[in-house]
Amino acid sequence: MLRPQVFALQDGPVKIGLIASERQAIDACLKSLAGEDSRFAAKADLYWNARGGSYTDGGAFIFTVDRSSATPQLKCTDKFGREVSVPAKKPTNELLNETLRFAPDNFAEQLAEARAGAKSIEDLCVNLANAAKNGYSEKVKSVEILTWVLDSLHLIPYAKEGRIHAQLELSLFNILREFPQLADQNGSGWVLVNSANRGSLRSPTKSEDTLLLDVSGFGAEGEGSASAMIVAAYKQGWKHVMSFDWRGQRFCGAGLGEHSEGFRIDVFGNPGDYLGSGLDGAEIYVHTSAQDQVAQIMKSGKLVIFGDVGQTFMYAAKGGDVYVLGNAAGRPLINAVGRPRVVINGTCLDYLAESFMAGDPLNGGGFIIVNGIALEDDGRIRELETPYPGGNLFSLASGGAIYVRDPSRKVGLDQLNGGQLTSVETADWNLILPYLQENQKLFGVKVEDLLKVEGHVAKPGMVYRKVEAIPLEALATLSE
């Protein structure tokens, strides 16, 4: 249970299923295959975690090669025989049109220019790469557009194909590597450093505002790691590090020390374990999924994850504002105290907020919002079969609260262990609404859509439920 199985499917010219302890291992395997055989993409179309014994899927999955037809077919089913399939795909020209339709105003004009002659997302990437060759400002704008597309794939209908994700990421990394080197001191705002010239690290000049860090050649941890380089850059006075091509290296954002407000890290690729651990003030934006032990003992700051997060997320955290687009694996926020404020749009596998000790959320304490949703292939919100499939929800907690989106009242008392289900009052809604509004700004998950039940907007108390600790007086009465 401490190393959960991560499953993946890719369906294209060939179909492949993979199982590993972490997503980064799956992506490393696919990247290697794609480098040898163009039928494979460097990203899977679908990733998911399993929890042993889950009544929703059984926690086990079966990959079978069906040889009953002339062409053998790979099939994946859960323990109960229900087939698992990859998201639906759309013709590339239609997908490109959908992408342009979702573009924000500040990108619309340049996206329209890059669209000229393009028939697919791949063509768009080529056009942006060519535009980036025209100068520094064009490079910056191309990076911003590619980042927006990567972050918005969950909203763009039928854009969840692994091949598209891989192409966008590769194009982004290639453009970032074309920026001026830190050692050149040419006066540009964004400058690049990598493992080969790490010795050139220095304080920023007045014109420099962003350090681009190519992580690919750095070690996994220790003095020569990318995480150590980020700490060194922070101490040299850099306010923004855009790090890319992570390949499982650990401890990103750890070791910054106390009161690191005003410092921001952007993360692209496959960051490893312990990202953001001990964070105290800085902001980290993870433009992908994260691994295990993320944000352990986090004290303050902001963490945004455009994907899923692994095991023991925010173990013993003391504070911070955290937003997760997808799911958390098992045992998130165990032993958390103080004032953590967390939004998880998907769900958690089990043991959410065990021994939570976060005071009174209505008087400065901590809380967790679990929306229990996924985004369909067409970008619309879909309620999960259950907003929380596991057991020991809020187990043995003494403070704080969980606000779970559960309009069908599927979460039952048998899933609790020392907590109680209560109603969401006006004060509760006023507390969590600003976090749901920030969640909407970050991920495009509209508050209005969260409040919809069978197509109609309902009152918050009909949609959300509150899980809180049983008062000690009540426990004493029960024991008698």
pLDDT tens readout for residues 164-180: 999 999 999 999 999 99
Q: Is the pLDDT of residue 4 over 70?
A: no
Hey, is 371 helix, strand or coil? coil
Q: Are 114 and 145 in contact (CB under 8 A)?
A: yes
Q: How much is the pLDDT for 1?
A: 45
- Compute the distance between CA of residue 397 and CA of residue 390 in angstroms, rounded to an integer: 16
Residue 108 binned pLDDT confidence (cut-offs 50, 70, 90): confident
Percent of the chain past pLDDT 90, that is, above it, reads 81
Q: How much is the pLDDT for 473?
A: 59
Hey, is 416 helix, strand or coil? strand
Q: Is the pLDDT of residue 260 over 80?
A: yes
Q: What is the mean pLDDT of residues 105-128?
A: 86
For the chain, the C-alpha Rg in angstroms (whole number) is 23
- Compute the distance between CA of residue 242 and CA of residue 179 in angstroms, rounded to an integer: 12
Mean pLDDT of the chain: 93
Exposed, middle or buried by CB within 10 Å (0-12, 13-18, 19+), for 91? exposed
Q: What is the DSSP string of 177-234?
A: TTSPBGGG----SEEEE-STTGGG-----TT--EEEEE-TTSBSSSTTBHHHHHHHHH
- Compute the distance between CA of residue 452 and CA of residue 439 in angstroms, rounded to an integer: 16
Query: Distances in Å between the alpha carbon of 323 and those of 3, 422, 458?
Result: 23, 24, 24
406 sits in which H/E element: none
Q: Is the pLDDT of residue 210 over 80?
A: yes
The strand ranges marked E within 121-271 are: 190-193, 210-214, 240-247, 264-270
So where are the chain's domains?
A: 6-78, 92-176, 289-479
Span of 54-63, 121-130, 137-146, 360-369 with lowest mean pLDDT: 54-63
Span of 55-69, 188-202, 464-478 with lowest mean pLDDT: 464-478
pLDDT tens track for 392-414: 999 999 999 999 999 999 999 99
Q: How far is CA 232 from the centre of its chain?
A: 26
pTM: 0.95
Residue 472 binned pLDDT confidence (cut-offs 50, 70, 90): low
Residue 479 binned pLDDT confidence (cut-offs 50, 70, 90): low
Residue 5 binned pLDDT confidence (cut-offs 50, 70, 90): confident
Give the phi and the psi of residue 90 in degrees, each rounded to 5: -125, 150
Q: What is the DSSP letter of 179?
A: S
Q: What is the mean pLDDT of residues 134-152?
A: 95
Q: How much is the pLDDT for 202?
A: 96
Hey, is 370 helix, strand or coil? strand
pLDDT tens track for 187-205: 899 999 999 999 999 999 9
Residue where the block lists tokens 């998911």: 48
Hey, is 230 helix, strand or coil? helix
Hey, is 45 helix, strand or coil? coil
> CB within 8 A of 37, min separation 6: which ones?
none
CB atoms within 10 A of CB 34: 19
Yes or no: domain 289-479 corresponds to CATH 2.30.42.10: no
Q: Are 347 and 404 in contact (CB under 8 A)?
A: no
Q: What is the mean pLDDT of residues 342-367?
A: 96
Q: Is the pLDDT of residue 477 over 80?
A: no
Copy the structure tokens of residue 291.
């691994």
Say how many CA atoms lie within 13 Å of 334 toward its Cβ: 15
Neighbour-count burial for 160-189, b at 16+ CB within 10 Å, e otherwise: bbbbbbbbbbbbbbebbeebbebeeeeebb
Q: What is the dihedral of CA 85, 87, 91, 93, to 10 degrees?
A: -160
